[in-house]
Structure 1
Amino acid sequence: MYRFLLALLLSSSTLLAQQQTSVDAVTFAKGIQQPGIQVFDVRTAGEFNTGHLPDALQADYTKKTEFNERVQYLNKTKPVYVYCLSGGRSSAAARWMRENGFQQVVELEGGINAWKQAGEPLTGVSEKKPQMSVATYEKAIQQKGWVLTDVGATWCPPCRQMEPVLEKFLRENKQVTLVKVDGGNDVELMKAIDAKGLPTFILYKDGKEVWRKQGVVELRVLTEALQR
C-alpha cells in the first residue's frame, strides 16, 4: 500500500511538472541547458538582432506565413522553450504549437524583459555591419564553373536544418564555390536577386543562373541540379 501511494505521488508530481507551461527566468535558464532543447524566439527580426538567448531560432509570430513556414522545422517530440519581449506573443505562439501537436512547450514568463531583470545574459547583439553590395555579389558569381548562393541565417529553422546537407554537398562536389548571403543583413541584395524567403538557393554556371529553389532541399535535388 505504501509503495502504491508513493508511486501515485511521484506520478502526480511528474504530471504536474509536465503541465507547468510557464516558468520564471531562472527556471527557464536552467531548462535550456538540457540536451536536445529547442529555443524559439517569436519576436521580429529587428528585435532578435538587439540580443537573444543562446542558440535561439527565430520566427516572427505576427507574420503568420513566416511563422507557419518556419515552425514546421522544429521537432514536435522535443521540448521547445519559447519567448518574446514580454510574454504575450510567446503565449499565443505556445498555445498554437500545443494545439498543433508539440508535446512540450515552455514559456518564459515576462519574456526578454524578465530575463534581463533576472541578470541573465543575451547573445548576438548585432553591431551594424555594411550590407553586401550588388557589385560584390556579381563579382563573386561571375566566375567560370559552378557557384551556389545560399541566402540564409543561423537563426532560421529551415536554414539550420540545411547546414549538414550543404556541408555534405560541398564535400562531394568540390567544383562548386559557395557564396553566402546574410538573410538578416543583406536585405537590399536580397531584393536585387529576388530572394523572398529563407533559405533560398541559386545555382550559377559560368556566371549564369541555371537553377533556384526556396526552402529545404534534399541532397539528391542539389546534386541533380548540377546536371543542367
Structure 2
Amino acid sequence: MIYKYYTYVVLLGLLISVMSSASAQQVDVTVFQQAIQKKDAQVFDVRTAGEFNTGHLHHALQADYTKKEEFIERVQSLDKEQVVYIYCLSGGRSTAAAKWLRENGFREVIELKGGINAWKQAGLAVEGVADGLQMSVDTFHMAVASGDVLVDVGAEWCPPCRKMEPVIQAFLKENKAVRLFKVDGGRDRDVMQAINATSLPTFILYKDGREVWRKQGVYDKL
C-alpha cells in the first residue's frame, strides 16, 4: 500500500512539473517584449499575410499556420536549437503552431499570451503597416528591359527569403554586371501574377527583358 501511495505521489509530482513547464511557455506582453529585444531573436508570426501587413513585431518572420504547406516549408529556415518567440492575433493559432514546433524537434518555443491584440492593448508599437501601393507591371518591365537583371521576389518577413540573402550577395559579387531588382512578395501582387511568381522566394534572371532562368526556394548557390 505504501509503495502504491509513493508511486502515486511521484506520478502526481511529474504531472504537476510537466503542467508547470507547459504553462511557463506562455508569457505576458512585458516578458515577451524584453525577450525579443535580444540580438537575433527568432520572432515568428503565424497569421496570414494580410494580417501581417496590418502591423507586426520588429524583425518578425511570417508563415500562415492555416496553410500547412507554406508553414512547413518556411519553418525549415528556423533554427531548432534557438528559442522561437511565436504569436498570432489572440493566441489560438500560435498555441497550435507552438505545439507542432515542439513535437517536431524545436528546443524551446515561447508564446505571446493574448497575441498581438494584447501587445496593442498594452500600447506597444508595431511596424510594417503596408501602404497599399503596389509596383505597376509597366514599372517592372521597364526595370528589366535592358542589361542583366536578377529579380528577387521575396519579403523581409519570409524565413527562406532572409536565409537566401548571403547567397544573393555572393551571386552579385561573382556577376558584377548583374543588377538586383526586388519585388515585394507581400505587396506587389499584380507583378507577381504577371510573371507567374507563385512562391517565396523566387529568383528570375532577365537579359534585355527576356527571362533566362528562374529558381524557387532555398539554394546554396544561384
Aligned counterpart, 2:183: 181
Alignment of 1:5-44 (within 5 A): 20-44=24-48
* Unaligned runs of at least 5 residues, structure 1: 1-12, 223-228
- Letter of the 1:178 partner, please give it: L
Paired position in structure 2 for 1:151: 153
Percent identity of equivalent pairs: 64
Answering whether residue 97 of structure 2 is matched by residue 93 of structure 1, we say: yes
Q: Distance in 2 between matches of 1:31 and 1:60?
A: 23
- Range 117-126 or range 43-52, more displaced: 117-126
1:35-62 CA deviation, whole Å, 9 max, x = no partner?
A: 3320000001111111111010001111
Secondary structure of the residue aligned to 1:149 is strand
Q: Distance in 2 between matches of 1:36 and 1:207?
A: 38
After superposition, what is the alpha-carbon deviation per residue over 1:156-206, rounded to whole angstroms, capped at 9, x for unaligned? 000001112112221221100111111011111101101000000011223
Mapped to 2, the partners of 1:112 and 1:19 lie a distance apart of: 19
| Cα distance in 1 for residues equivalent to 2:105 and 2:28 | 24
Q: How far did residue 120 of structure 1 move?
A: 2.0
Could you list the runs of 5+ residues in structure 2 that have no partner in the other structure? 1-16
Counterparts of 1:71 and 1:182, CA distance in 2? 20
Q: What amino acid is aligned across from residue 142 of structure 1 in structure 2? A: A
Instruction: Tell me, yes or no, if the aligned pair for 2:130 and 2:187 is still in contact at 8 Å.
Output: no
TM-score by length of 1: 0.85
Alpha-carbon contact 2:204-2:213 (below 8 Å) kept: yes
1:48 and 2:64 correspond = no
Distance in structure 2 (CA, Å) of the matches to 1:152 and 1:98: 27
Q: Secondary structure at the match of 1:168?
A: helix
Equivalents in 2 of 1:140, 1:41: separation in Å?
32
Report the CA distance between 1:19 and its aligned residue: 7.2
Aligned to 2:209: 207
